[in-house]
A and B are shown apart, each in its own frame.
Chain A
Amino acid sequence: MDAFEQFLKTFFDWKAMGEVVPHLLTVGLPNTLILAVSSGILGCIFGLLLAVMGISRNRVARWIARVYTDVLRGLPAILVILVIGIGMGPVFRIMTGSTNPYPLGILALTLMATAYIGEIFRSGIQSVEKGQLEASRALGFSYSSAMVLVVIPQGIRRVLPALVNQLIHLIKDSSLIYMLGLLTSQREIFRIGNDAAANSGNLSPLVAAGVLYLLMTVPLTHVVNYMDKRMREGKTQKVEPDEAAAIIGKGAKA
């Protein structure tokens, strides 16, 4: 039983957990959400721009989008966060006078999210049938109006599950911001769990942090599955005919 007790004590020390939970909820959770949601929203805005550039008829725009996407998707998250978060620190300080690394963390997460979300949007927009653009143009819409009113909204709808997936990634990746040396009040869930674990010499606070992540990510995963299922199955019913109600098309026989 010694081994089992040791195991319990290491991972499920209720006292150590209990002490860290208020911190996790009042400081860690808001910070994690701020990091993930703000970089998610910014990533959507810039990602849409990137997607539109990626399918643009302008070769330079396409090229810029391609290089950006390849580079930012091809690098490990931890490297981007360190390079941007630490490397950009002095530049940021000269520009704003602030030594706060928090905005740089959001910037690094946003840069990566933009690359991933841009690809998600691009694939969604390109999956919209060619006939949609053609029908809009045939009505007299310009290329840009047709894209904005008809094609892009459909593309976005199709990739909503993938976007929620991306939010899950951001929630998890926001933990990497811990490396930037944040103020006590800026610590996110992982950092708080990690600090408490280091102080108490017990891993239970990290387990508590893990549980808190799961409480966010697992329901989101199910949201994704539900959206996927609904989109795949859709709803169709067949009703016909309406000839009876038609004013034209009655007398004539082809």
Chain B
Amino acid sequence: MSEFSSGTLTAKNIHLSFGSNHVLRGIDLHVPQGTTASVIGPSGSGKSTLLRVMNRLIEPEQGDILLDGRSVLNDNPDELRRRIGMVFQQFNLFPHKTVLDNVSLALRKIRKMPKDQANAEALAQLDLVGLKHKADARPANLSGGQMQRVAIARALAMKPEVMFFDEATSALDPELVKGILALMTDLAKGGMTMVVVTHEMGFSRNVSDTVTFMDGGVVVESGHPDQIFGAPKTERLQNFLSDVL
């Protein structure tokens, strides 16, 4: 599967504060086209906030965000977000709409596709994640794993150039985690550019091309998974790994 038209995403010297809380203190992250960058670190280290800054759900106070080498900070943020898919820890499906409508809504309203075409496209995406037969169900009637599959299909339907995963498996029952990780792995292998904020160290180590360890709003260490997990240089990363592994 290498059907994605993916792009290169770069964050440069990102700063952000919430009041007196300096959440991001000069973050750099470079994700070359078709690669997967995982971001690990303790809770409150700013990982999820970084994702939201990179698709401008939150505007950075300082720094730059580049997609395919061009700054996107002066673009319409809605346009930028159409190019970046995002999957959330809590799924955030639209509970008042059917599974099919969840996936086709943006196609109809943003891509302005006619209803037939949008539904056909949405069904194809649902098929890809194994949930075509749930098209008419409501999100409330799905399990957590199924909801997250729909959320992934919803994001993919927009044909994004980059996919963000914000602790996509953290709210799932343990037995459902594997299926979602397998889906993400296949996306990565299919050539999608991905930024994955995760507590799944196995995924981070085996699937990602680069691992970035954040703590206290800074990148403490980043590099190839073998190096990050096999030969951590800093004490903070060593401590973190000994806590989670």
Contacts and interface: CB of A to CB of B under 8 A. Distances in A.
Interface of A: 129, 131-132, 134-142, 145, 149-150, 153-154, 157, 234-254
B241 interface: no
Interface stretch (B24-32, B82-90, B112-120): B82-90
Given A239-B143, A248-B1, A251-B182, 20 more contacts: A131-B92, A132-B92, A138-B88, A139-B155, A140-B81, A145-B109, A150-B94, A154-B95, A154-B96, A237-B141, A242-B149, A246-B131, A248-B190, A249-B183, A249-B185, A250-B186, A252-B189, A252-B207, A254-B178, A254-B202
B141 A253 contact: no
Chief secondary structure at chain B's binding surface? helix
A145 B110 CA distance: 10
Contact of B141 (A236, A250, A252): A236
A238 B130 contact: no
Interface residues of B, number: 58
B15 interface: no
Interface of B: 1, 55, 57, 78-79, 81-82, 84-86, 88, 90, 92-96, 105-106, 109-110, 127-134, 140-143, 145-146, 149, 151, 154-155, 158, 176, 178-187, 189-190, 200, 202-203, 206-207
Given A131-B90, A253-B185, A138 B57 contact: yes
21 contacts: A135-B93, A138-B86, A139-B82, A139-B154, A140-B82, A140-B110, A141-B109, A141-B110, A149-B109, A234-B140, A237-B141, A239-B142, A241-B176, A245-B131, A246-B131, A247-B128, A249-B186, A251-B186, A253-B182, A253-B185, A254-B206
Nearest to A245: B130
B98 to A, nearest CB: 13
B140 A243 contact: no
Nearest to B130: A246
Contacts of A245: 130-133
Contacts of A150: 94
What are the 8 closest A-B residue pairs judged by CB atoms, nearest first?
A: A246-B130, A140-B82, A249-B183, A252-B185, A254-B181, A135-B92, A245-B130, A131-B92
A201 B178 CA distance: 81
A142 B80 CA distance: 11
A150 B102 CA distance: 10
Contacts, number: 139
Nearest to A243: B179
A252 B158 contact: no
A125 B134 CA distance: 28
A243 B146 CA distance: 10
Nearest to A246: B130
A240 B176 contact: yes
A132 B105 CA distance: 14
B78 A149 contact: no
Nearest to B202: A254
A239 B57 contact: no
Contacts of B94: 132, 135-136, 150, 154
A243 B105 CA distance: 25
Contact of A131 (B88, B140, B185): B88
Nearest to B188: A252
A154 B179 CA distance: 30
Contacts of A132: 92, 94
A230 to B, nearest CB: 12
